[in-house]
Amino acid sequence: MSLRLCARLPRTALCAPARVALRSFSAKTEEKKVPPETPEQVTRKLQEQRDYWEEKKKERSKVNIFFSRWGGILFFGFWCLVAWLGKKWGDYEMYLVERELEKPRRRRRAEE
């Protein structure tokens, strides 16, 4: 809540954090100021980050690398295969039903 809004409201639990913050600012506590980073320091930090990821790449096995790159498409492909097999099985079942219904009724009853 903003300080203005809190000043208009009666003292409740909702205003407590704003009042605490107001008191801490009025006490004029000194905060540690961090000097701005130089471009060289930023470059060094970025280089350290790059080195970290290069080391991680070296630690990973070939299988881990393969699945991290192709795992999503393999997962999707597996479920596409399951759907395709289900479709083919359904088509086969329908073919058997149609073949049975093509026979004359007398033959169907005799086979049962």
- Contacts (Cβ under 8 Å, ≥6 apart) of 60: 68
Residue 77 lies in a domain: yes
Residue 39 lies in a domain: no
Residue 52 pLDDT more than 60? yes
Residue 84 lies in a domain: yes
pLDDT higher at 48 or 102:
102
Residue 41 lies in a domain: no
Average pLDDT, the chain: 77
Q: How confident is the model at residue 25 (pLDDT cuts 50, 70, 90)?
A: low
Residue 102 lies in a domain: yes
Provide the pLDDT for residue 60: 80
Provide the pLDDT for residue 28: 57
Residue 71 pLDDT more than 80? yes
- Which residues form the domain of 92? 71-112
Distance, CA of 10 to CA of 99 (rounded, Å): 83
Residue 29 lies in a domain: no
Distances (CA, A) of 18 to 8, 10, 24, 31, 108: 12, 13, 10, 19, 85
Number of domains in the chain: 1
Residue 8 pLDDT more than 70? no
